Structure formats: structure tokens, C-alpha cells
Amino acid sequence: MIYLKTEEEIELLRQSNLIVSTALAEVAKAIRPGVTTLELDAIAEKCIRDHGAVPAFLGYYGFPNTLCTSLNDQVVHGIPSDKVVLQEGDILSVDCGATIHGFVGDSAYTFCIGEVSDDIKLLLRTTKESLYLGIEQAVAGNRLGDIGYAVQSHCESRGFSVVRDMVGHGVGKEMHEDPQVPNTGRRGNGVKLRKGMTIAIEPMITVGTYRLIYEKDGWTTRTADRKWAAHFEHSIAIREGKADILSTFDYIEQVVGVL
């Protein structure tokens, strides 16, 4: 069931999302060759707790950490580890969730570690652009398929692939609410968007195949052909005319620059 939010609830969601954005900016300050993903996890957890919030992923279906950290060919749900040491040229997708006043913020960003190749920079840029193109379609009266179409057509026009097995979602009191928000679709298809719906749009885009494999830890997904993947996510509220983006990349990009 799709649960429409009041203005007060949307403001609480904005609060939790801005804590997530702040935590991701703290990660941005620390991310460099030689750092481990477990160190980044500790930084994010401290930031979230310092703001009076609780990490939303920690303990979710038994997930062991605050962040999902997915390296290079990993797509989503990577587990932070003291054995994963970032190297020059890597990319790391960092997904973060935080709960305060009963509402869950959810946002993700893919970081470059030092200098990465131009091909991979194009993957990241295209994925981020596709997120904003999807958000442009996320207005009252449009349909979910309009979002998926915008994401998919942009990424495929550059020769990239769109992951199907993982999708965006409604977000609010629960991290994953109805509806599912696919990154593929046909214009004019699917659930009609209504004012007060709050959703997370999160394209997961790959250089090669969109097929995924689960690693042995039961969480981490990676591409079947081991080509690299990017992931960007915003939580938004549907309104008339223009979506209201509740998370922000501004804090991150004040640290690492605009991709």
C-alpha cells in the first residue's frame, strides 16, 4: 500500500535525509587511497549518532553495518571491511540510511578514489545525470514508467546497462515501502504519481551486463561479467510541477568537487 505523507512528515523525512547527506560528506572527507571501508563506516555511524539519529541499515534483516560500500564491479549492498583497502583508480558506491523521529533517510553516491579512467568517469556522470532526469519526471500526474524510461533511455544511449534486479522504492516510516521504483520502463505506464508520495530513486548502472551475482556473504552483489557499476540515490517527495529532493549531494560535492 502506498502511504501519502503530510507536509509535517515530509519535513521529518527531509531532516533524516539531510543527516544522511551530512554523513556522506564526512565519508567524502576521509575517502582516499589506503583507507578501509570499515573506517568509513565508523565515520558515518558517529556522524549519524552525533545528530541524534540511528543508522537505518544496521541490523536491517541482519545487515551488520551503517553503510553499504560497494567497490568497482560490486553494485550494491557491499559490507564494510577492514580488509577492503581503497586503491588509486577505484570507485566506491556508498549507500547510507538514517532514522530520526521515526522517518528514514536514504541516499547514495559513487566516489572516485584519486584519478579514475575517463570511461569510468563517464559511467559515473551518466548515472548521476540519469538520476536527475528521473527526478524531473517525478511529478504529480506522471507515472512510474516515466521515471524508469528517463533513466533507462539516457544510460542506454551512452551504451551502459540498467540493473533490473534491484530497484528504488517508497520511503518513509519504513526504509522500503510501496511502490517499487524500477530504473527501466515505458512512458505512461505504471502507478500514477500523487502529491505526498515519497520515493527513493536509485539508478544502478553498469558498463557491461546488467546481470548480478551474489557474493558468498549473502549481501554483496556484483556484475556477472565483473565490469564496473555506479549507484546514485536521492529520496524525493512528489509535488505538483516539480519534485522536492529531500537529500542533497551539495555537501559531498563541496568536499570532492562536482563530478
Return the number of the residue (90 or 95) whose C-beta is nearest Mg ion. Answer: 95
By CB under 5 A, the residues from 196 to 235 that bind Mg ion are 200, 233
Number of residues that bind Mg ion (CB under 5 A): 5
Binding mask 155-194 for Mg ion (x = CB under 5 A): ----------------------------------------
* Residues pairing with 103 in the sheet: 100
**Residue 9 interacts with Mg ion (CB under 5 A): yes or no:** no
In the list 26, 95, 146, 177, the residue contacting Mg ion (rule: CB under 5 A) is 95
Q: Residue 95: which residues within 8 A CB-CB, separation 6 or more? A: 57, 67, 68, 70, 76, 77, 106, 107, 108, 231, 233
| Least Cβ distance, residue 169 to Mg ion (angstroms) | 6
Return the number of the residue (54 or 108) whose C-beta is nearest Mg ion. Answer: 108
What is d(CA 57, CA 55) in angstroms, rounded to the nearest whole number?
6
Would you state the torsion angle of the CA atoms of residues 87, 110, 101, 42, taken in this order, to the nearest 10 degrees? 0
Q: Which region, judged by CB under 5 A, interacts with Mg ion, from 2-10, 86-94, 99-107, 218-226?
A: 99-107
Return the number of the residue (158 or 193) whose C-beta is nearest Mg ion. Answer: 193
| Least Cβ distance, residue 38 to Mg ion (angstroms) | 19
Return the number of the residue (148 or 157) whose C-beta is nearest Mg ion. Answer: 148
**Residue 106 interacts with Mg ion (CB under 5 A): yes or no:** yes
Return the number of the residue (199 or 259) whose C-beta is nearest Mg ion. Answer: 199
Return the number of the residue (188 or 214) whose C-beta is nearest Mg ion. Answer: 214
Q: Which region, judged by CB under 5 A, interacts with Mg ion, from 6-14, 92-100, 139-147, 183-191?
A: 92-100
| Least Cβ distance, residue 193 to Mg ion (angstroms) | 17
| Least Cβ distance, residue 14 to Mg ion (angstroms) | 16
Return the number of the residue (88 or 250) whose C-beta is nearest Mg ion. Answer: 250
Residues contributing to the site for Mg ion (CB under 5 A): 95, 106, 108, 200, 233
